[in-house]
A and B are shown apart, each in its own frame.
Chain A
């Protein structure tokens, strides 16, 4: 397909979900109601760490208006010594996170749930549940969890032959690290810390579940994957997947945090036991206390380079909080942190550390911002020691096609260098700065994913198109799929309607995560659409009574391929649809496959800050994000992804943090004191869409959603240094911390 001829790909078409969202018609999970519906509420642990000696639900069950009570005794039993792997999750932990079994492991850990006529009665009934605890000392911070004689969360986890809170490790090696540092003229080593931060989706977790007497179960919920909801609910409740229909609601933000379940299995048990549909909606406080933030971390990074600017060696050690159960995103930290660079000798090591915090969930490029923060800050110091421009320094060491990455693969065609060049030639790079203003740079990488995807493309009786895929749309996939389908069929984009199917109406599709959705669904939609075009040619061949091979599809109509094929008036999609029945029946095709060929994404950011040195406030005054986006199918959505990632990175860098009090309880479980940026905190964020198409994808798509949160933490830290000459090694760089360090 000639790039210049594109009519819909690369155009900012109207968003198919826009009208419903701005007029309040869009249906989110909490909007769904059913006759006879009752309300579920959760009893949560008042302690950060305790063994559950007994749970007595009798008084709760006897309260007027209560229909059912659930505890872990109602769940399938998963022995702690046998892994039950589902994607990147282990159902052993998921089940115990949904309803605590042997122990409560964080303040807010669910213990039991009640379904009652009203939320108020359910809450009251929760208070009547009697739980006997054996309270243990707790560990919140990494240092407290890994010190000798730390309170052990899980006695079956061993490290170095001893019970430990280190639940796992991961290592990447290349070359000879000792030799590499010997060759270096400049070696810099620094230690860093980051606080745990929450995804901050505005829509709290919510679901409605109805279980019929024969166990047929319907789940309406807000998630990043209806098939994930079906599978996890099936595992935990024991109801077979074939009996569960999971219907995805419109989603009010997820950012990775809705890739696991919290409420659905609980509501299913409550509905099954009561015979009533059960609705559950978390409060913001419950979201903050008991859903997954991403890890806080501590790390150490050492980088050596020659005077000529070539990096000879790099080393990184990363400790990441997993929360109550194993599963910190160490792969993102240790695997992505050196990915933009061609480094001959490298060693990265990650530790997965459990502690008495809520179990972490995925958050936009999980782990990658943590690794990049440390590496990109040290790179800035090395560049300074070498008296090199930070961007030129990165350019000199940039990974290219053919580079063997520290985390394993040899890169195919990729556009990291192009992002550096785009920044160097952008006006922002040379714009003057005033006193107390500074500029910082950083790069970032995210793996991107492919995986299972299913699509069905159907031609309606009036000759329009309905496309169904199986991934909740959180970043513009519907608009992008409409663009692609319209382009392939050669019809107006407004004739294409794109829907998200439920688990009963579309084939298995992996969840929306890993920046995979458009890459994967465009592949299966393209294949399905090409099959539809083939069918349309076949129908024309029947009408004209000529060979199918003598027909071409162009501009939304079948035409004879040349004069030899015969002279026929072209048949449009509408005309072929009208004659569908006599020519063979309904026209449609589907495709489902495990997609491969997703390639990584690279970004480089420029950030300007201004620091109020009397108050310790750093304000972001200008920001430019350059990213290799492969091919921007819907540029406005791609820009939105870049801008959104940067905004979340700004929050992470400046003010967001989980603050625990002395009792081991989260002290800021709300948006007042958990400070995500507000609009007035932000400048307009400029984007540069670098397009180096992915050769393994029909439209050249690369994932774009996660990379943009990777560089901001270090870009901002480097900019603050440039402004005031003080380096910060701990996030967030909140006003009290900044002022304290400046005053020292």
Chain B
């Protein structure tokens, strides 16, 4: 790595301004926790000439709760969010997904915003964010806009962000009564690994009936997927065997994976069904508790 310009703005406007200017001239990277970026720089995958550190921007580090609707800054670290007990009660699936990113040490830095913008198909928090129904707030040279998480990615390493746009925060819907979310991933080890398949489920139950469901998969396609056919199969059901089976087949059908060093196509497809069922069970258990 040769010389790199390092910018550390204190407002979003400054950040957007610097980002849109510098990315016209060369390769600029946004730095939040840096747990992906620094590894990429070291391995030569990324060779930026400008780095913009967004950790000093207040709004990006904030956690707020507006009458049950959470807003989480893009650069909030996993370990910090973990200390927000009430957030974990509302969105245990999102928190458990975020907490799977890296080791304890990495947790002091890794953020939802970074995990999203890194745009790995295997990013752990992304399926959980999709299942939660969260939206992402983006700010760029042409102002502010919002986007559901499932629309954010284009493919591996590629997002729908336009030139100069940065992710500001995540806005979660108010958690519905008797709803629960869960995230599970398959890794060959027990820790320190990348998802071979990830699955998040968020269900709402009324009188033993599924009234709402969102199912998302990671690491089985060029980007994390919202599996709408799985949701359809569940909504209106009593989670009876046939409905769950139908939803799990929808998960398998949604998979469009590759054979690689981490798993085969057939393995990923089979595992997507299994993880869906296990995550669903966990989500139902949580929903029944409130």
Query: Is the beta-carbon distance between A615 and B274 smaller than 8 angstroms?
Result: yes
- Given the complex, which residues of A lie within 8 Å of B1, measured CB to CB? 120
A608 and B2 alpha carbons, distance in the complex (Å) = 52
Nearest chain B CB to A726 CB, angstrom units: 16
Is B191's CB within 8 Å of the partner chain A?
yes
Nearest chain A CB to B257 CB, angstrom units: 12
Query: Is the beta-carbon distance between A678 and B189 smaller than 8 angstroms?
Result: yes
A616 and B1 alpha carbons, distance in the complex (Å) = 42
Query: Is the beta-carbon distance between B263 and A736 smaller than 8 angstroms?
Result: yes
- With CB as the reference atom, state the residue of chain B lying closest to A285: B43
- Given the complex, which residues of A lie within 8 Å of B6, measured CB to CB? none
Query: Is the beta-carbon distance between A740 and B267 smaller than 8 angstroms?
Result: yes
Nearest chain B CB to A81 CB, angstrom units: 40
Query: Is the beta-carbon distance between B188 and A743 smaller than 8 angstroms?
Result: no
1/0 contact trace for A658-676 toward B, CB 8 Å? Answer: 0100000001100011010
Query: Is the beta-carbon distance between B267 and A617 smaller than 8 angstroms?
Result: no
Is B261's CB within 8 Å of the partner chain A?
yes
A736 and B187 alpha carbons, distance in the complex (Å) = 11
Query: Is the beta-carbon distance between A735 and B186 smaller than 8 angstroms?
Result: yes
Query: Is the beta-carbon distance between A615 and B261 smaller than 8 angstroms?
Result: no
- With CB as the reference atom, state the residue of chain A lying closest to B42: A283
Is A640's CB within 8 Å of the partner chain B?
no
Known: A120-B2, A673-B261, A673-B262. A735 touches B191 (CB 8 A): no
Residues 670-705 of A at the B interface (beta carbon under 8 Å): 672-673, 675, 677-678, 680-681
- Given the complex, which residues of B lie within 8 Å of A617, measured CB to CB? 188
Known: A614-B274, A615-B274, A668-B261. A675 touches B266 (CB 8 A): no
- With CB as the reference atom, state the residue of chain A lying closest to B267: A736
Q: How many residues of B contact A (CB 8 A)?
A: 21
| Residue among B190, B261, B267 making CB contact with A739, cutoff 8 Å | B267
- Given the complex, which residues of A lie within 8 Å of B190, measured CB to CB? 678, 680-681
Nearest chain B CB to A610 CB, angstrom units: 13
1/0 contact trace for B78-96 toward A, CB 8 Å? Answer: 0000000000000000000
Known: A614-B274, A739-B267. A675 touches B188 (CB 8 A): yes
Nearest chain B CB to A189 CB, angstrom units: 29
- Given the complex, which residues of B lie within 8 Å of A654, measured CB to CB? 188
Is A13's CB within 8 Å of the partner chain B?
no
- With CB as the reference atom, state the residue of chain A lying closest to B192: A678
Query: Is the beta-carbon distance between B191 and A739 smaller than 8 angstroms?
Result: no
- With CB as the reference atom, state the residue of chain B lying closest to A651: B189
Nearest chain B CB to A121 CB, angstrom units: 10
Nearest chain A CB to B102 CB, angstrom units: 11
| Residue among A285, A673, A678, A740 making CB contact with B191, cutoff 8 Å | A678
- Given the complex, which residues of B lie within 8 Å of A673, measured CB to CB? 194, 261-262
Known: A736-B263, A736-B264, A740-B267. A675 touches B274 (CB 8 A): no
Query: Is the beta-carbon distance between B267 and A677 smaller than 8 angstroms?
Result: no
Is B270's CB within 8 Å of the partner chain A?
yes
A120 and B2 alpha carbons, distance in the complex (Å) = 8
Known: A120-B2, A739-B267, A739-B270. A672 touches B189 (CB 8 A): no
Query: Is the beta-carbon distance between B186 and A615 smaller than 8 angstroms?
Result: yes
Known: A120-B1, A659-B261. A677 touches B189 (CB 8 A): yes
Known: A120-B2, A667-B261, A673-B262. A743 touches B270 (CB 8 A): yes
Is B57's CB within 8 Å of the partner chain A?
no
Nearest chain B CB to A673 CB, angstrom units: 6
- Given the complex, which residues of B lie within 8 Å of A681, measured CB to CB? 189-191
Residues 138-183 of B at the A interface (beta carbon under 8 Å): none
A680 and B187 alpha carbons, distance in the complex (Å) = 13
Is A51's CB within 8 Å of the partner chain B?
no
A617 and B175 alpha carbons, distance in the complex (Å) = 35
Residues 349-364 of A at the B interface (beta carbon under 8 Å): none
A680 and B274 alpha carbons, distance in the complex (Å) = 22
A681 and B189 alpha carbons, distance in the complex (Å) = 6
B interface, CB within 8 angstroms of A:
1-2, 43, 186, 188-194, 196, 261-264, 266-267, 270-271, 274
Extra inter-chain contacts (7) besides given A672-B192, A735-B186, CB under 8 Å: A285-B43, A654-B188, A655-B189, A675-B189, A736-B263, A739-B267, A739-B270
- The 29 listed contacts between A and B (C-beta, < 8 Å) are A120-B1, A285-B43, A614-B271, A615-B186, A615-B274, A616-B267, A617-B188, A654-B188, A655-B188, A659-B261, A667-B261, A668-B261, A672-B192, A672-B194, A673-B262, A678-B191, A680-B189, A680-B190, A681-B190, A681-B191, A735-B188, A735-B263, A735-B267, A736-B263, A736-B267, A739-B270, A740-B266, A740-B267, A743-B270
The 7 closest A-B pairs by CB, nearest first: A736-B267, A680-B190, A614-B274, A659-B261, A680-B191, A655-B188, A667-B261
